Structure 1
């Protein structure tokens, strides 16, 4: 038998009041949150709580529907390398959300699971239900009222307050409140479908099963190829067939890319950044597309105010946008080269220089 559940997270402000939720059906779901956290933390916590809530049925296969590539790739691709490096990334910096990831690694030990990427906010019933509950939990913490925790999983047990990770341990320097424990319900959620694949974590030297493939769609693709194919239709209305002049459209897309909600959405940045994108940052660091997308997914930053200095068309398929950005540390002069790629404007090159 297979338990199919959607897991999702939400953060108002990112970071800000945050929520998480997993959902099987109306009689089987759970949600919680913190006064201060990030969207990624909510996404990870939703999966972690689902694993804890189903720990009493380890023989049941888990099919986890998730709209976060950060979560899927962290668990199925990056975690083994991070562990070998002492929970550090390829550049030697500590892995973000490491306590959550360590807990996930422990809970995955011996479990049979698969992850399936679903497009967020696209009408998928289970994903929408999890998103609604995660957002409601974040809103409750924002308003200082009690968040609905949900009925939980039948027969399941979830650790009380002391067992939940606090935002202070999740790379967010703020006090937090643990999520309420789940309450059992009397009805068994529907489950069905064949075993797709097996996988597991590794803790205490226990044998580890072969990690599950995320889905056939993700096999033999680079990290973001599937996102490009699936997410490009998001831009159809604003790009293809648009009557807006290229200069104005590029300015609109640049402003969109500067917003934290878009920057934290790896599917949307996959649309906006050209496959050969490169940036020379104001610090002098050179960024590739994959490195930039992963960095933005982990820390989308705050909204940036800008003053457009110019937008100049270069031939028929390129626009050079120059502008000044404002931050607490000062102003930066920036230039972005947008090119027409398959009927869509995508950012090919960006450079920032601190203003004297």
Structure 2
């Protein structure tokens, strides 16, 4: 019997066109043979906000604490969560220049959602042939296009 907990694999993406402008986000969650797809859109946002929203929504969708491998093509998300957050928190949500951290509301949302999970954060190069990264990009783009077409996000 396998006593090692299984890992939920999450692939996220988000983007805008133009940036800033209308944006979409998507997340693909996989656990064994199960898959769940999440996506959404906002009329006025940025690439970075959509990347953060995708990660937050994916982690919030997990109903219990999990071991997670989260894949993103956003260096902003990966670096923020693995390198910059301690300094931000220590400086009361100020960056190294002393200014308020951009997208603080979403960073807090990601950190709150991540707190109950054991997460390995992975950066992958976007548009480099990673099938699930490409699919997340297509889903995020489709969500943005539905919003623009008036079909909702």
TM > 0.5 fold call: yes
Rounded to whole Å, the distance in 2 between the matches of 1:9 and 1:93 is 25
Q: 1:51 aligned to 2:56?
A: no
Counterpart in the other structure of 2:13: 8
Rounded to whole Å, the distance in 2 between the matches of 1:40 and 1:91 is 19
The structure carrying a bigger helix percent of its residues is 2
Counterpart in the other structure of 1:78: 84
From the superposition, tell whether residues 117 and 111 of structure 1 become closer, same or farther in structure 2 (CA, over 3 Å).
same
Helix, strand or coil for the counterpart of 2:120?
strand
2:137 aligned residue (112, 131, 135) = 131
Q: 1:41 aligned to 2:55?
A: no
Counterpart in the other structure of 1:229: none
Rounded to whole Å, the distance in 1 between the matches of 2:61 and 2:101 is 26
Contact persistence 2:29–2:58 (CA under 8 A): no
Rounded to whole Å, the distance in 1 between the matches of 2:117 and 2:28 is 19
Rounded to whole Å, the distance in 1 between the matches of 2:152 and 2:111 is 30
Contact persistence 2:25–2:51 (CA under 8 A): yes
Q: CA deviation at 1:90?
A: 0.8
**1:173-197: CA deviation from partner (whole Å, max 9, x where unpaired):** xxxxxxxxxxxxxxxxxxxxxxxxx
Rounded to whole Å, the distance in 2 between the matches of 1:9 and 1:127 is 11
Q: 1:90 aligned to 2:93?
A: no
Q: CA deviation at 1:146?
A: 2.5
Rounded to whole Å, the distance in 2 between the matches of 1:110 and 1:142 is 35
Q: CA deviation at 1:145?
A: 1.6
Contact persistence 1:6–1:127 (CA under 8 A): yes
2:38 aligned residue (30, 44, 62) = 30
Contact persistence 1:24–1:126 (CA under 8 A): no
Contact persistence 2:26–2:37 (CA under 8 A): yes
Q: CA deviation at 1:104?
A: 1.4
Contact persistence 1:12–1:139 (CA under 8 A): no
Rounded to whole Å, the distance in 2 between the matches of 1:144 and 1:119 is 31
The ranges of structure 1 where at least 4 consecutive aligned residues each deviate by more than 3 angstroms after the TM superposition are 24-27
Larger-Rg structure: 1
Q: How many residues align?
A: 145
Superposed CA RMSD = 1.4
Rounded to whole Å, the distance in 2 between the matches of 1:97 and 1:68 is 14
Rounded to whole Å, the distance in 2 between the matches of 1:129 and 1:24 is 12
Counterpart in the other structure of 2:3: none
Rounded to whole Å, the distance in 2 between the matches of 1:109 and 1:14 is 30
The TM-score normalised by the length of structure 1 is 0.40
Helix, strand or coil for the counterpart of 1:4?
strand
Equivalences for 1:297-312 in 2 at 5 Å?
none
Structure 1 unaligned regions, length at least 5: 148-356
Counterpart in the other structure of 1:212: none
**1:81-137: CA deviation from partner (whole Å, max 9, x where unpaired):** 001111111111111100001111212223101011111111111101111011111
Q: CA deviation at 1:57?
A: 2.4
Counterpart in the other structure of 1:109: 115
The TM-score normalised by the length of structure 2 is 0.90
